[in-house]
Amino acid sequence: MHRGYPQGWPRWRLLPDRIPVMSLLIASDADAGRRLHPGWVALGASTVIFHLGLIFYGLTPALISRPLHMALALPWVLIFMATTPWQRISGWLLTGLGIAACGYIALNERALANQYGFIDTQLQMVIGVFLIFLALEAARRAIGWPLPLVALTALAYGALGQYLPGVFGHPGMPMASYVGTLTIAESGLWGSLTGVSVGVVAIFVIFGAVLNAGEAGRGFMNLASAFAGRLTGGAAKVSVISSALMGSISGSASANVASTGAITIPSMVRLGYPRALAGSVEAVASSGGQIMPPLMGAGAFVMVELTGTPYTQIMAAALLPAILYFVTVWVGINAYATRHDLRPMAESDRPSTKEVLITSLFFAVPFVLLLERIFLGGYTPQYAASIAIFAGMALLFFDVTLSFSLRGFFERMAEAAVTAGRQVAVIGAIIICASLVIGVLSLTGLGVKITSGILSLSNDMLWPALLLTALACLILGMEVPTTAAYVICVSVAGPALTALGLEPLLAHLFVFWFALLSTITPPVCGGVFIAAGMVGENWLKVALKAMALGIGLYIIPLAMISNPDIIRLDSNPGGALLDALKIAVGLTGISFGVIARKAWWLRLALIVAGALVIFLI
């Protein structure tokens, strides 16, 4: 059993499109043995060494580092995640051929770079087509069909779009150039998005895996319990704080639900909270992990690449909206306290001050190093994270009592290696598949045509364009992981929004937030399904309460448009804090109006007043 979970707690299988960044689910003893098999530990260690090494090796050509990144990911998504004999057999075959194909690209990097994306041998064509197929299949096995189907549709358009009549057709291109640009040049599979996965996302995933192999998770829970456990709705507020802290390194709703929820949900049920409310609190609080810096579910690093904005500026821009989200959830819990007896945690369930201080060191030391190296040292995020990783590894020598253990260190490192290897692979599979879509959009000019369509449908007005973009994000996000949905939507809608006067970073944050809606919005609401399964309640009841509690997720992106100074914390801190305060007041009124047990006219007045404060004052 993993640490920190009740004996006999069931092992929940996550929805395929919401794979967590940390492998924190309960597993049977046999499954745990398979996870920590020496072969997988060695492969995970190779993944960690490779990605950390890229920071210190010096400049590595993209056509070497990115194919090797894919090669390291293949065994995890094709073999480790296999659930049937056929998947395992085919997984071994595809992995062997895939490693050979990726190796061909890496070994022939110089020659391929001089071909400028044009295939000139039959072998290269076979390898190129196979790599495209492999990227689709890896993503399918990692997260299910939706994203590969989007990519397959884009690929079909690139190959056959010249036969479409009207404005959405394209002139066509030779197949040797089409396949070659996607597979043997620094675009398509090996484009800049894959570079983000290799150089930055993987490092922060490793950082999260190392922290959570130790006692950082317990430190988050203890700090939250000490701070909020004695308040009204204390168990629910512990879930909010611990999920915010955990989400800052996991960036995954599913990981948060599975980890913090395994402790907070039974605690809430034991205190008499309605089961639907207990599940919704955890689902909503956990969803905030993808908007909370520094990781933001890999979105922050993709945003750096797509906008050219420094990482520190993106962290500053995303911070206040993320805090407002959790403040709204906190207010919603207080509003539910007018309907239910939401008791505080029992004193016996709250940790001692000494335990809080000791366990907090396990995340405080790496976090302080990370932030110090970024903001004071002036180093890149990936270098700062690598220093924090080494500090986290040093802390793995100690347990919660600060007892030194060499055996414990190797056990925790093995767990971290397997967790990191698997999650780097899953995120890599998602980003590589999404890169195919971006490659086709660039090659065919389809993105420009969709952008023109949005401008035309909105009659060149910003708010109708925003609503069209939000609808597209919600629909795509229901079936595609948040980061991939964000990348695809912003590639086609972002230029339209900026053409209508929205600054690029604000447009990207708007799209990213709306791509996240599907975590709590039916019919596909990954965080809700997991929480409902854990609490044993009807998922729709949990979803309805989650939408009320998480109303900030729907309003804050629009509030950012009306109050753009909120994302300028680094350049205009006074204006940013003033806008944040105004939005917080409005959200408080709206949340109470939607949830609290008050007279209908008072609730309506609170909702209207809150909206006026946010959007008109």
**Domain segments of the chain as ranges:** 20-215+352-443
**Cβ neighbours, 10 Å, residue 110:** 10
Mean pLDDT, rounded, of the chain:
87
Contact yes or no for 553/321 (Cβ under 8 A): no
State residue 177's pLDDT score: 94
Contacts of 447 (CB under 8 A, 6+ apart): 441, 491, 492, 495
State residue 579's pLDDT score: 96
Distance (Å, rounded) from C-alpha 337 to C-alpha 332?
9
State residue 35's pLDDT score: 62
User: Is the whole model's pTM more than 0.75, yes or no?
Assistant: yes
**pLDDT above 90 (res 91):** yes
**Cβ neighbours, 10 Å, residue 291:** 29
pLDDT band for position 31 (cuts 50, 70, 90): very low
**pLDDT above 90 (res 14):** no
Distance (Å, rounded) from C-alpha 433 to C-alpha 452?
25
**pLDDT above 60 (res 418):** yes
Percentage of the chain surpassing pLDDT 70?
94
State residue 248's pLDDT score: 74
Q: Which of 11-20, 305-314, 328-337 has the least mean pLDDT?
A: 11-20
Quote the tokens at residue 487: 């990348």
**pLDDT above 60 (res 17):** no
User: In this predicted model, which residue has the larger pLDDT, 76 or 287?
Assistant: 76
Q: Which of 297-306, 351-360, 542-551 has the least mean pLDDT?
A: 297-306
Q: What is the pLDDT averaged over residues 290-297?
A: 79
DSSP letter string, 296-350: GGGHHHHHHHHH---HHHHHHHHHHHHHHHHHHHHHHHHHHTTTS--PPPPGGGS
Contacts of 47 (CB under 8 A, 6+ apart): 72, 202, 417, 420, 421, 424, 425
- Backbone phi, psi, residue 404, to 5°: -80, 135
**pLDDT above 50 (res 51):** yes
pLDDT band for position 34 (cuts 50, 70, 90): low
**pLDDT above 70 (res 342):** yes
**pLDDT above 90 (res 9):** no
Q: Is 163 exposed, middle or buried (0-12, 13-18, 19+ CB in 10 A)?
A: exposed
List pLDDT tens digits, range 52-73. Answer: 999 988 778 999 999 999 999 9
Q: Is the four-CA dihedral 276, 279, 283, 286 of positive or negative sign?
A: positive
Residues in the chain: 617
pLDDT band for position 104 (cuts 50, 70, 90): very high
List pLDDT tens digits, range 451-489. Answer: 888 888 889 899 999 999 988 888 877 767 788 888 888
- Identify the H or E element spanning 609: helix 600-615
